[in-house]
Amino acid sequence: MTPLLALYRVLSRNLLSRGRLTLIGMLGVLSILVAFAINRGNDGDPGLDAGVTFVWFLGLGLVVPIISLVLASSSFGDLVEDETLVYLWHRPSPRWMLAVAAWASSTTVAIPATVIPLSVAGYIASGFDLKVFGASALAITVATAAYSSLFVFLGLLVRRALIWGLMYLFIWELFVARVGNGAATLSIITYPSSILASIADVELAQADRSVLTGILVPLIVSAIAMALTTWRLDNVDVA
Amino acid sequence: MTDLSIPQSSNGIAPVTASAPPAPAAWPPADATVVAYDVSKSFKGVVAVSNVSIAITPGVTGLLGPNGAGKSTLLRMLSGQIKPSSGSVWVAGGDPRSDAEARGRIGLVPQQDGVFEGEKAIDIVSLAATLSGLDQPTERAAHALGLVEMDPGLERPVGTFSKGMRQRVKIAQALVHDPIVLMMDEPLNGLDPKQRRQMIELFHGLGDAGKTVLVSSHVLDEVERFGSLVIVIAKGRLAAQGDFRAIRGLMDNQPLRVRIQCTAGRQLGAALVASGSVMGCRVDSDSLIEVTTNDIRQLRRELAPFARHYGGRLEEVIPLDDDLESVFRYLVGDR
């Protein structure tokens, strides 16, 4: 087993607590139930807009960032909390490897936990439109990867990363970023929303970037977050 | 004994050293594997460690100090876990904070209990071996667990282990890559007496094999059993380093108590007080006295002639303050 794989394995197993799995399962089930309610509320003909708006508002706006936050901030947050980070940190393997393993472990748990229920929910809410399903799957994947990288860094940067992360989400991503175009450029939600809007061909607020931009910018954000995490690992004091 | 003396630190407290301060060129010793030069660490303005300079050579060295003295902070700086506020650290060929190769030559047993609760012992130690770039990590892990007398085949997760078992897993993961330097923060916590004895034997074996073993503890009995080399930290400052018996010998200003059994004890005591070689004498019985002296050499010179003079026979002379506890009490008692 390579060091990267070994790190990925132990970090993934560490993430899968009963509490987190319950929260993820509940959010997934809730999303599908709400989607059914939307579907039935529109007499089985809710249309494309309802499905896309549902994925945009509930999925990209709440479920994706919250699941990403819970998982990714715990990648290092748990290790800092229970003081086990030192066992990984003190070994001679490169620090970037630790950062990438933390991101990969939280992302590979978060992506199925978000993409499957939310894409299915979007499909249901839109009256079983496959275009919504595909657009949702791509947008949610990109959003989960980008948010996870950001919250892995946050988990290493501050104690109580969950609270700081929620403040960031509700103040910046869900409020400020929806007010003006300038702020939207600096928020993650703009880019997966643009992917969703472009592919489904629906208009959403502050979601007017191309699909390519919608994929590239979150990838760049992820790379920068990984670089910052590596830098932080180089400079952090480990108990 | 290896000379561990250091240059005078700049904090105004003269550390007690086991020999006269060497010329600057002699420090650090050529075989030193751990060197800290004038390191200090503050946390939000509170000084935890102040201007400590030490050099540690192969063998077992006890890092001693009361709770809160700064032992763990110093050990964390030496292992690279925390960055000194000032000063520098060199361990096994580099700065362990920035030099991955140097870090790879250190085995670390941190103080905290936490290990990966859901993992098996063999997996934790095997992970350590993999991250150290070793081939056959599982075999190496099984060997390291064997060194601490643990069964590598245990299927239970570490979360179900007793404190002593966890402690041994922590030691095994520190040993798995055969490090040059082993740093352990209170490694005997939670071990039963038999396990403690086994671990101390293991540490001695590693020291004899040329490893540098630095063991922190606040339990004096433990440190005494690690060996005679100590580093004493008190209130964040270096109080002493070297062989604790030699340190005691240098503490001329501290009175020594000596128990003397002599068939003419009472007369002997009176004579010693009269001669000025002892400051005080307590007569426990006709043949047993306890004297307090500031001049052990004069006492040694006069003891036998005085006993002969009074027709007594010296049966036993025991220095009561020659143990580590006394040294420690003197060093940290007034700080």
The reply to whether B218 and B202 lie within a common domain is yes
> Which residue in chain B has the smallest CA separation from A4?
B131
- pLDDT, residue B13, reads 41
- pLDDT, residue B286, reads 87
Q: Are B262 and B268 in contact (CB under 8 A)?
A: yes
Chain B partners within 8 Å of A239 (Cβ): 76, 81, 110, 112
Percent of chain B surpassing pLDDT 70: 89
Closest CA to A60 of A131, A147, A127: A147
Domain-located, residue B314: yes
Domain-located, residue B63: yes
Cβ within 8 Å, pair B132-A1: no
Answer with the one of B223, B249, B275 that is the final residue of a domain.
Answer: B249
Q: Are strands B256-262 and B229-234 parallel, antiparallel or unpaired?
A: unpaired
Query: What are the tens digits of pLDDT across the range B271-292?
Result: 999 998 899 999 998 889 999 9
Chain B partners within 8 Å of A91 (Cβ): 103-104, 128, 131-132
* Position with higher pLDDT, B240 vs A106: A106
In degrees, to the nearest 5, what angle opens at C-alpha B234 toward C-alphas B181 and B203?
A: 25
Answer with the one of B226, B249, B272 that is the final residue of a domain.
Answer: B249
The reply to whether B288 and B199 lie within a common domain is no
Question: What pTM was computed for the model?
Answer: 0.82
Q: Which residues contact A66 (CB under 8 A, 6 or more apart)?
A: A27, A166, A169
The reply to whether B70 and B198 lie within a common domain is yes
Q: B289-316 as b/e, with b when 16 or more CB fall inside 10 Å?
A: bbbebebbeebeebbeebbeeeebebee
Structure tokens, A118? 């939310």
**What number is the ipTM of this complex?**
0.88
Chain A partners within 8 Å of B49 (Cβ): none
| DSSP conformational letter for B34 | E
Structure tokens, A57? 């508002």
Q: Are B125 and B176 in contact (CB under 8 A)?
A: yes
Instruction: State the count of interchain CB pairs (< 8 A) between A and B.
Output: 75
| DSSP conformational letter for A60 | I
Closest CA to B262 of B292, B293, B298, B307: B307
The reply to whether B27 and B97 lie within a common domain is yes
Mutate which: B131, B158, B181, B185, vs A, most A CBs within 10 A: B131
The reply to whether B213 and B259 lie within a common domain is no
CATH number at residue B277: 3.30.70
Chain B partners within 8 Å of A89 (Cβ): 81
The reply to whether B223 and B98 lie within a common domain is yes
Interface subset of A 175-234, CB within 8 angstroms of B: 234
> Which residue in chain A has the smallest CA separation from B173?
A87
Structure tokens, B44? 């939000």
Domain-located, residue B11: no
The reply to whether B265 and B212 lie within a common domain is no
Residues B76, B39: Cα–Cα separation, whole Å = 12
Closest CA to B154 of B125, B180, B178: B125
Residues B214, B209: Cα–Cα separation, whole Å = 14
- Residue B91's alpha-carbon distances to A19, A58, B71, B107, in angstroms, are 42, 53, 17, 11
The reply to whether B258 and B244 lie within a common domain is no
A10 has a chain B CB within 8 A of its CB: yes
Q: Are B37 and B238 in contact (CB under 8 A)?
A: no
Range of the domain at B199: 16-105+179-249
Q: Are A17 and A108 in contact (CB under 8 A)?
A: no
Cβ within 8 Å, pair A86-B110: yes
A13 has a chain B CB within 8 A of its CB: yes
Residues A83, B113: Cα–Cα separation, whole Å = 8
Structure tokens, A142? 């990109």
- pLDDT, residue A206, reads 83
> Which residue in chain B has the smallest CA separation from A92?
B100
Amino acid at A94: P
- Residue B147's alpha-carbon distances to A199, B4, B178, B208, in angstroms, are 61, 30, 12, 15
Closest-CA distance, B104 to chain A, in angstroms, reads 5
- pLDDT, residue B20, reads 45
State the total domains in chain B.
2
Query: What are the tens digits of pLDDT across the range B36-94?
Result: 999 999 999 899 999 999 999 999 999 988 888 899 999 999 999 999 999 999 999 99
Domain-located, residue B242: yes
> Which residue in chain A has the smallest CA separation from B116?
A84
The reply to whether B64 and B194 lie within a common domain is yes
3-state secondary structure of A131: helix
A18 has a chain B CB within 8 A of its CB: no
Mean pLDDT for chain B overall? 86
**Domain locations in chain A?**
3-235
Domain-located, residue B144: no
Domain-located, residue B1: no
| DSSP conformational letter for B313 | -
Q: Are A159 and A74 in contact (CB under 8 A)?
A: no
Closest CA to A165 of A82, A225, A116: A225
Chain B partners within 8 Å of A90 (Cβ): 79-81, 103, 106, 108
| DSSP conformational letter for A78 | H
Cβ within 8 Å, pair A90-B106: yes
The reply to whether B208 and B275 lie within a common domain is no
Answer with the one of B249, B275, B301 that is the final residue of a domain.
Answer: B249
* Position with higher pLDDT, B298 vs B78: B78
Query: Edge-to-edge strands of the sheet including B256-262?
Result: B280-285, B288-293, B256-262, B314-319
Cβ within 8 Å, pair B132-A91: yes
Per run of 10 residues, the mean pLDDT along chain A (length 239 residues) is: 94 92 93 90 72 94 95 95 95 96 96 96 92 96 97 95 95 86 89 95 89 97 98 94
- pLDDT, residue B36, reads 96
How many beta carbons lie within 10 A of that of residue B32, not counting itself?
A: 18
In degrees, to the nearest 5, what angle opens at C-alpha A103 toward C-alphas A211 and A167?
A: 80
Q: Which residues contact B98 (CB under 8 A, 6 or more apart)?
A: A234, B80
| DSSP conformational letter for B59 | E
Closest CA to B241 of B250, B229, B227: B229
How many beta carbons lie within 10 A of that of residue A185, not counting itself?
A: 13
Q: Is the pLDDT of residue B15 over 70?
A: no
The reply to whether B233 and B221 lie within a common domain is yes
- Residue B124's alpha-carbon distances to A173, A233, B105, B279, in angstroms, are 39, 21, 19, 59
Query: What are the tens digits of pLDDT across the range B170-229?
Result: 999 999 999 999 999 999 888 888 888 899 999 999 999 999 999 998 777 777 788 778
- pLDDT, residue B11, reads 41
Closest CA to B100 of B212, B177, B214: B177
Q: Are B216 and B71 in contact (CB under 8 A)?
A: yes
Most confident of the following: A98-107, A201-210, B237-246, B305-314: A98-107
Residue A212 burial (10 A CB sphere; 0-12, 13-18, 19+): exposed
CATH number at residue B242: 3.40.50.300
CA-derived radius of gyration, chain B: 23
Residue A78 burial (10 A CB sphere; 0-12, 13-18, 19+): middle
Give the DSSP H or E segment for A179: none
